[in-house]
Amino acid sequence: MGDTEKAILSCLNTQQEIQDSGDFSKSVNIDHSDIVNVVKSLHGFGLVLAQEIKRENWVLSDEGNQYAEVGSPEVQLFNAVPPQGIARDELQKKVAPLILKIGSQYAVKSKWIEMGKQQVTRKVQCVEDHVKDLLLQIKDGKGIGSEDINLLKRRKLIELQTWNGFSLKKGPNFVLERKKLATDLTRELLQSGDWKNMELKPYNFSAKALPPSGGHLHPLLKACFQYLIFISVFT
């Protein structure tokens, strides 16, 4: 029996129920995907009763993760503009083209900076990075308002993620250790009598058999065909 299966059955034996497979995987330090695979097997054999759990939550996109670390483009752009202002071509050297494009759009809209033809200047002394704060809250699993969610969605900084797990209870065939089922009734098992104490894996009578391979001509038929070909040459 594998460590994952042993952990699940041992927990059910003492606690009677596992309310959330996600929390359980963290408590035993086992990858949740391994938990799910074992649960499906145990459920199929009736050792556990599994009830599916589905949760949806917002997670940061790749772009959102980047801004959560270094700040939103508009704040990055604002910080690149010194209090006395900066020439536009010099600003282009200081920030990446994408940051300049996105940052100028939102910084101008928020009336933080003024983008002149030659010069870029600040219109305020300091700003707060509201976008970064929202991203960090989502990253920490905290809830935010619907307006803020819509803001981040429009900017494609968050994505809706669906999580699937299980709640578990003991099944009708629950045992602390699963027996290994025999797959074939062999001659040795019949002769020794061990088959009386063994459990056989149920046969799947709906399974499709392998397609039969092509047959072969009998050697005499092959000789006959060769003879007919030989005769036809002279007729």
CATH number at 80 reads: 1.10.10.2330
**Span 179-191, average pLDDT:** 73
From edge to edge, which strands make up the β-sheet containing 119-122?
86-87, 119-122, 113-115
Residue 116 lies in a domain: yes
Q: What's the mean pLDDT when you consider all of the chain?
A: 88
Query: Looking at residue 23, which CATH number applies to its domain?
Result: 1.10.10.10
Q: Report pTM.
A: 0.62
Rounded Cα distance, 3 and 30, in Å: 9
Residue 229: predicted pLDDT: 73
- Which range of residues forms the domain containing residue 78? 73-128
Q: Same structural domain for residues 48 and 80?
A: no
Q: Are residues 98 and 51 in the same domain?
A: no
Residues 123 and 83 in one domain: yes
Cα–Cα distance list, 32 to 8, 80, 174 (Å)? 12, 44, 22
Domain count, the chain: 2
User: pLDDT category, 219, cuts 50, 70, 90?
Assistant: confident
Residues 95, 51, single domain; the answer is no
pLDDT of residue 218: 76
- The pLDDT of residue 228: 77
pLDDT digits (tens, 9 = 90+) for 81-140: 999 999 999 999 999 999 999 999 999 999 999 999 899 999 999 999 999 999 999 999
The answer for 158, left when phi > 0, alpha when psi is -120 to 50, beta otherwise, is beta
